[in-house]
Amino acid sequence: MKFSCLSNELSSALLNTSKVVANRSTLEVMEGILLDVKSDSICVVGYNFDIAITTSISAKVEEVGKMVLSAKLFTEIIRRMPEGVIEFESTQDLHLKITCNNMEFDIVGMEAQTYPDLPVVATEHTINMNAEKFRDLVSKTIYAASTDETKLIYTGALINFEAQKIAMVALDGFRMAVKEVAIESEVEASVICPSRSLQEVIRLITNADQEILIDVSNTYMMFRVNNYTIIAKLLEGRFLDYKATITKKFSTQIVVKTQEIIDSIERTAVVVQNKLKAPIMLEIEDKKLKMACRSTTGTASDEITCSTNGEQLVISFNSRLLLEALRAANCEEVSLNFSGNLTPAIIHSAKEEDDFLFLVLPVRNLNQDTESE
């Protein structure tokens, strides 16, 4: 193969596709990027059997062909090239000569025939939606997905497609996030997509006005956005009936400015070091929210104002889990709803039009028990 292209366009394509390529694999070819040089473009492919990312860039092609190159080496070489046109020419013995200005590289490639075929996604269900809406949907949920590979099903997000609506749910046993978005679609399907795949999709969204095309089959999802195609292998298994876990009756409710409660928790939790599991205690009184934390390194307390309704309450949480939920809310005010100090807190926007719901389990606080005796 023989071709030339712009260095910045190829570098961007390599950086985005190589993120899914394995650093180490028993199959050397899976540590590589596939270059498929066609009549007037180059298709760049990264794949690891669970997710594939492909894109195309324009090129001046004299001879078509295919070759697999070390993702790490090739990406690093192109990244360090000056802006301008790079020329490429392969040889019969699988070497690739790379020339740009006075720079020249000669690297060894691999046979393209040894690279596995990408999954073919049957477009049984296709959804077209605003890319920014999809990014908000993912951002507000996958933070709650599990990282425990022994519970593989919960390392992904449940995606329910219903008439005129899409709902996404993620949980890890200590918290849960649910988000719904209105869409113009009559598709009905329910799948579980790995959270890493969803993160790769939203990473490729660069413009709020972009559209994203989503194809759903029984075993794969395919996303097309910003000249990239992402194919994600779905997880198999039965997801928790999440609706049954959501409490609808509350004895205590507060409304507070989101950034104020985040700042207060961060200040109070300073005394909690990474190796310590000390929880943060919330004490709700009339128009007051008090924070307190006690660990072996010290104590801290803070107080902010809020709107309150219902009974006074003292309840404790893992500060990291509570903070991650509040940061994901991304709204001016949040409503925190409680039905006791041993049941999950339900967090949602103070505005009804922001259709998300977060659930965070409380923790037992020995300091709280001591103070109440």
HEC secondary structure over 65-110: EEEEEEHHHHHHHHHCCCCCEEEEEECCCCEEEEEECCEEEEEECE
Quote the CA–CA distance of 241 and 245 in Å, as a whole number: 7
DSSP state of 350: S
Which residues are CB-neighbours of 60 under 8 A, at least 6 positions away?
3, 4, 5, 40
Which residues are CB-neighbours of 373 under 8 A, at least 6 positions away?
none
If we measure between CA atoms, which residue out of 149, 184, 154 comes closest to residue 169? 154
pLDDT tens per residue, range 88-109: 999 989 999 999 988 999 999 9
Quote the CA–CA distance of 358 and 31 in Å, as a whole number: 38
Report the pLDDT averaged over residues 225-237: 96
3-state secondary structure of 372: helix
371 pLDDT higher than 70: no
Report the pLDDT averaged over residues 162-173: 94
Confidence of residue 287 (pLDDT cuts 50, 70, 90): very high
Give the pLDDT score at 247. Answer: 87
Report the pLDDT averaged over residues 128-133: 94
Mean pLDDT of the chain: 92
Q: How many CA atoms lie within 13 A of 88 on its CB side?
A: 31
Quote the CA–CA distance of 297 and 110 in Å, as a whole number: 56
What are the chain's domains? 2-114 (3.10.150.10), 125-242 (3.10.150.10), 246-372 (3.10.150.10)
124 pLDDT higher than 90: no
Could you give the C-alpha distances from 292 to 151, 282, 283, in angstroms and in order?
Answer: 33, 7, 8
Give the pLDDT score at 364. Answer: 82
Quickly list H helices, 128-229: 131-139, 195-203
Report the pLDDT averaged over residues 289-305: 92
Quote the CA–CA distance of 129 and 159 in Å, as a whole number: 14
Report the pLDDT averaged over residues 193-200: 97
292 pLDDT higher than 80: yes
The amino acid at residue 187 is V
If we measure between CA atoms, which residue out of 368, 348, 370 comes closest to residue 360? 348
Per-residue buried b or exposed e for 125-163, using 16+ beta carbons within 10 Å of the residue's own CB? bebebbbeebbbbbbbbbbbbbeeeeeeebbbbbbbbee
